[in-house]
Amino acid sequence: MVENKLTWQSKLVLLAVLPFAGTEVVLDGSWWASHAAPVAVWTVGLSVLLGLVTWKLRAATPFAAVTGALITASLMFSTAVVPYQAWHTALVPTLTVSLLAFAATRTGRRQKERRGSAENRRGRSASQIAANLGLAALVASSPVQSWLMDSRWLPHHAATPSLLFALTVAALAEAAADTVSSEIGQVIGGRPRMITSFKAVDAGRNGAVSLAGSIAGVVAAAIVAWAGMWALGGGWGFFWMSSAGGVFGLFFDSLLGATFEECGWLNNDAVNFLSTASAAGFALALLCAMH
């Protein structure tokens, strides 16, 4: 009931992400089409293909699949370089997030269905996709990247695209860590405990964590961070910043769930969006601390 009253937050997340991602795709796509047409063709083609596969696997609703395709295209355009190789863009960490989420949500599905905590069989909604992947696209966009590189408080040697994209991958790592932690924890984590009081509660409760689920989330964050490092060539500093950001966001998500979501002030989409933002913010703090 409370979640239904907060649907405006889901709509706000969509409004913050979709127009921006769509505009970036149109502007970047037009630029690449006139300067290096294969980049535009491959980016749009692979993004559409990923959206179609996601929809066919019932991992997302039709609108959610379109939303995911737009965000993926925006991420790919933002990280594309010449000579162009599609696998050396943000497609790889984004695809890794999708595969980890798909596998985790289907692990122990019957057990989750009996408990009533299984994901909708129609797949994720557009607002869920935007909440999990949208912040990464915003951080990777040209305006934000330019602003970060021009910022005086960021060390000069750290203001490089290869390192700044660690913020994007940190947000993606958190999205994967949150989903994997929650889904796996319900299956093998036993009875979880609230992150604020350590009181044992039922599985699926907002803010509840388990040791097994947390370990699974940390591993998922590391996998996405490694995929991002490999694809974008950021080096081990990139990996550790992305991983640390993802893990920080994972526990920040649980803290928001145990407090603001439990109180009915935030819904799950808002919590997820803010948690990915906290992951990127933590990675940025680590980047600023470089000397």
Average pLDDT, the chain: 91
DSSP state string for the chain: -HHHHTHHHHHHHHHHHHHHHHHHHHHHHHHHHHH-HHHHHHHHHHHHHHHHHHHHTTSB-HHHHHHHHHHHHHHHHHH--SS--GGGSTHHHHHHHHHHHHHHHHTTHHHHHHHT-SPPTT-B-HHHHHHHHHHHHHHHSHHHHHHHHH-TTS-GGG-SHHHHHHHHHHHHHHHHHHHHHHHHHHHHS-S-EETTT--B--TT-TTEE-HHHHHHHHHHHHHHHHHHHHHHT-HHHHHHHHHHHHHHHHHHHHHHIIIIITTTSS-HHHHHHHHHHHHHHHHHHHHHT--
State how far the Cα of 236 lies from the Cα of 65, in Å rounded to an integer. 33
Q: Please tell me the predicted confidence (pLDDT) of residue 114.
A: 65
Query: Given phi > 0 = left and psi -120 to 50 = alpha, else beta, which region is 123?
Result: left
Q: Tokens in use for 256?
A: 């928001």
79-93: average pLDDT: 93
- The answer to whether the CB of 232 falls within 8 A of the CB of 90 is yes
Q: Which of 205, 193, 79 is nearest to 141 (CA)?
A: 79
* Pairing mode, strands 193-194 and 208-209: antiparallel
pLDDT digits (tens, 9 = 90+) for 231-268: 998 889 999 999 999 999 999 999 999 999 999 999 99
pLDDT digits (tens, 9 = 90+) for 177-236: 999 999 998 888 788 999 999 999 987 789 999 999 999 999 999 999 999 999 998 889
Q: Please tell me the predicted confidence (pLDDT) of residue 119.
A: 63
- The answer to whether the CB of 140 falls within 8 A of the CB of 168 is yes
CA angle centred on 277, ends 276 and 280, rounded to 5°: 90
State how far the Cα of 87 lies from the Cα of 177, in Å rounded to an integer. 22
State how far the Cα of 182 lies from the Cα of 169, in Å rounded to an integer. 20
Q: Please tell me the predicted confidence (pLDDT) of residue 152.
A: 74
User: Is 290's pLDDT higher than 80?
Assistant: no
Instruction: Give φ, ψ of 265 to 5 degrees.
Output: -95, -25
Provide the angle, in degrees to the nearest 10, between the axes of the packed helices 37-56 and 7-35.
150
pLDDT digits (tens, 9 = 90+) for 28-39: 999 999 999 999
- The answer to whether the CB of 249 falls within 8 A of the CB of 104 is no
State how far the Cα of 235 lies from the Cα of 237, in Å rounded to an integer. 6
